[in-house]
Amino acid sequence: MTLPAGSGANGGEAGESTAGASSNAGGHNAGSGGDTESNAGTGGSNELGEAGSAGDSGLYLGPTVGSAKTFAVLAYSAITTANVSPVTGELGVSAGAVSKITGFDSPSNTKYGTDSLAPNSQRTILAQGDVTALVGNIDPRACDVDLTNVVGGLTGDITLYPGVTCMNSFSADVLLNGHVTLDAGGDPNAFFIIRSNLTLTAADAAQVVLANGAQACGVFWRVKKQVTIGKTVQFYGTIIAGTAIVMKSASTLVGRALAQTAGVMLDANTITIPIDESVGSPGACTHVQ
């Protein structure tokens, strides 16, 4: 299913857009031993001064992750993995010690907690604060597409276009079952916000597909409750869950798993953060993150 442009313009959402729906608004708007620590200094606040747009110096007007940029997984309480999960990027808990990060025993894993040595003892707290700012940037944005009354929501094969896709009045939890294609239409500044006020579950073998220049660093899944990723799922984007994030065996994420008030549970997953470069890997990012 390809959604029509501009359907359900505001979906009953409170607030107004803080940075514009997207750079092409008016076009397609449908819609891992040891507690290794680094002494690289505390993660400061976003260089833009807010978890928001690039401003007048650039065309990207989507959200940014601030000091959470270096984290592949950032949880409130704990991070666990049932089987080895290769992670490219930092691991951190903002309300617990490094010992709350378990199963990541490779010397290559960089882990942070509230007991990390100075100057890193505040690193995860600052990053979690920037996640809060990120949510504060995302939530007031007006809906470009409202899937509230679309049966199945993200079930089946569906194409979304840049902007804000809202599912904020569903009486049932959101199921991603099939292929969700994010089509940037060739716009390097395109961003996608998928926002839900309940839970999000990606069924086994579901896929998120980036098309026509869409970038993982420009995709944001803002879910107010738990996010569950099933087995062998291919997923792209920054997941911001109000509670927990659960990834089941053999699923992959190019992006970040950010849990605001609970833990992150993994099982033989591969997580890679987007990197700043113009070409190359699926995680390449050409705009500010």
Condensed to tens digits (0 to 9), the pLDDT of residues 121-154 reads 999 999 999 999 999 999 999 999 988 766 556 8
Length of the chain: 289
Judge if pTM exceeds 0.85: no
Q: Where are the domains of the chain?
A: 76-285
Per-residue pLDDT of 237-281, as tens digits, reads 999 999 999 999 999 999 999 999 999 999 999 999 999 886 667
Residues near 147 by Cβ (< 8 Å), separated by ≥ 6? 3, 8, 31, 153, 154, 165, 166, 167
CA–CA distances in Å: residue 166 to residues 98, 138, 159, 194, 221 = 36, 11, 14, 6, 10
Alpha helices (H) in 29-150, listed in sequence order: 123-138
What's the CA gap between 9 and 15, in Å, rounded? Answer: 13
Lowest mean pLDDT among 110-114, 222-226, 278-282: 278-282
Burial of 185 (0-12, 13-18, 19+ CB in 10 A): middle
Per-residue pLDDT of 177-211, as tens digits, reads 999 999 999 999 999 999 998 899 999 999 999 99
Using the Cα atoms of residue 267, residue 195, residue 259 and residue 107 in order, give the sign of their dihedral. Answer: positive
What's the CA gap between 14 and 20, in Å, rounded? Answer: 15
| pLDDT for the residue 167 | 84
* Buried b / exposed e along 188-207 (16+ C-beta atoms within 10 A): bbbbbbbbbbbbbbbbeebb
